[in-house]
Amino acid sequence: MKEFLLGQAVEAVCGTYHGDEAALMKRVGGVVIDNRKVEPDFLFVPIKGERFDGHDFIPSAYEAGALACITERELETDKPYILVKDSLLAFQTLAEFYKGLFHVKTIGITGSVGKTTTKELVSSVLSQKYDVLKSEGNLNNQTGVPLTVFRLEDHHEIAVVEMGTNHFGEIRNLAKIARPDFCFLTNIGEAHIEHLGSKEGILEAKSEMLEYMKPGGRVFVNGDDPYLRTLKEARPDVTTFGKDPQNDIYAGEIESKGLGGSDFVIYTPDLKFPAHVPSPGGHMVYNALAAAAAGLALGMQPEEIRKGLAEYRTIAGRMCIETKNGITVLNDVYNANPGSMRAALDVLAYAEGGKVCVLGDMLELGDKAEQYHWELGAYAAKKADRVLCVGTLAQHIYTGAKEAGAEAFCFGTQDELLAKIWELVRKDDAVLVKASRGMQLEKTVEFLLK
């Protein structure tokens, strides 16, 4: 991390300083919210969570050598600390200050589906020419984005920052920290509709990123998405990508290679060049187009973009494909919503041999949750030979699949599923496993790959 003075931190967060005045001239060596990651001269910021209050770990942070702590409580200590009203807000404000120490091109990525995959593809492409910092995993929330920013170093040339939300105002907070030069919106789906009300509300929440785009920046959207296409009609700084030739950048001559990915040709107003994305599914072409658009906007050559796309590798829980003991497991357990579930089932359909899907509850879908699950079951019936459903809401997946004529089975818990799974999965089957993160279906993946 680029060091700064403790006194600068006090000023940045508008806090009240307690402690030895001489410490204000000491340099902060790192900023963390996990007391287990504290090192000498680090600044510890305790965050209140659902299960833990980070303030309870302030003593252990000092024991580990913390230079100071940011806190909402007055402390009985002679150690330096900064008193604030809201430690999370202070953490975000300090990250905004830290980001301002750098002149680095920043790409912000949001959307209902495909944020993390797009972030990985964009990073893979841009890394062919630039020194890139990217969000780790899917650290895209109110603490994840600041943690990403605090990893910036002077050698970085590009920062690729994923931003997620399930409430209004959250993307605005994150964009204020990141200050993107380029804003990418992947699509508008049903994810988090429980809190955002409608697809129009989701578009409004995602578009908050544009409020903090730097002057002269540019917006890149999936032009095949009817909601995002409205941005093109409303703003002169929007570039569209998609499969429709009416987009500014589009993919043609798409050829599926099954589970091996897709070949296609990228068309722009001035160029056309072939490309390959090694991960399966038609949705991956959209993600690859976003990455190509980022590369072109930053002056990269077609060959560099082609190489970056071809070198893309999936990350844990994001359509990782592994074959063991004659069974191919499509591990896509990290999260789920109706759009990503349908895309995953489309990928399953590419597999050879028997096709089995293990589908669990999709969360945060609001009043239409039962309908969304029933519709998913009907869709799964077209793509899989056997549909295995686990969870409370997944009972409606089962009903939809059964009514559509599928061979379907329903289990109340994951343990009940695992007790029967070897009666339903056979050698040479391909098995898709997918649900919302809270269902923890990675246990099923591990069981299948034993």
Q: Is 327 a residue whose pLDDT tops 70?
A: yes
What average pLDDT does the segment 437-443 reach? 94
Phi, psi of 170, rounded to the nearest 5 degrees = -70, -45
Handedness of CA 281, 363, 172, 32 (dihedral sign): negative
| 115 carries a ligand binding annotation | yes
Determine the Cα–Cα distance for residues 66 and 263; give it in Å rounded to an integer: 52
Mean pLDDT for the chain overall: 94
pLDDT confidence bin for 195, thresholds 50/70/90: low
pLDDT confidence bin for 210, thresholds 50/70/90: very high
Instruction: Tell me the CA distances in angstroms from 326 to 249, 384, 388, 450, one per residue in order.
Output: 40, 18, 19, 12
pLDDT at 192: 56
| 113 carries a ligand binding annotation | yes
pLDDT at 198: 85
| 111 carries a ligand binding annotation | yes
Give residue 278's region: left, alpha or beta (phi > 0; psi -120 to 50).
Answer: alpha
Determine the Cα–Cα distance for residues 59 and 64; give it in Å rounded to an integer: 9
Determine the Cα–Cα distance for residues 179 and 161; give it in Å rounded to an integer: 10
| 77 carries a ligand binding annotation | no
Determine the Cα–Cα distance for residues 225 and 240; give it in Å rounded to an integer: 10
Determine the Cα–Cα distance for residues 387 and 225; give it in Å rounded to an integer: 29
Tell me the HSE value of 267 on the side-chain side, using a 13 A CA sphere.
Answer: 12
Edge-first strand order for the sheet with 42-44 is 16-18, 81-83, 68-71, 42-44, 30-32
Tokens of 80: 């330096």
- In the block, which residue shows the tokens 């070897």? 422
Determine the Cα–Cα distance for residues 31 and 36; give it in Å rounded to an integer: 12
Determine the Cα–Cα distance for residues 161 and 138; give it in Å rounded to an integer: 10
Q: Is 446 a residue whose pLDDT tops 90?
A: yes
| 240 carries a ligand binding annotation | no
- In the block, which residue shows the tokens 């605090």? 150
pLDDT confidence bin for 194, thresholds 50/70/90: low
Give Cβ neighbours of residue 12 (< 8 Å, ≥ 6 apart): 93, 94, 96, 97
Q: Could you give all domains of the chain from N- to C-terminal order, each with its CATH number?
A: 4-85 (3.40.1390.10), 102-310 (3.40.1190.10), 320-448 (3.90.190.20)
pLDDT at 272: 96
pLDDT at 166: 75
Q: Are 266 and 273 in contact (CB under 8 A)?
A: yes
Give buried/exposed letters for 171-210 (b at 16+ CB in 10 A, else e): bbbbbbbbbbbbbbbbbbbbbbbeebeebeebbbbbbbbb
What is the per-residue pLDDT across 261-283, written as a single tens digit (0 to 9) for each?
Answer: 999 999 999 999 999 999 998 88
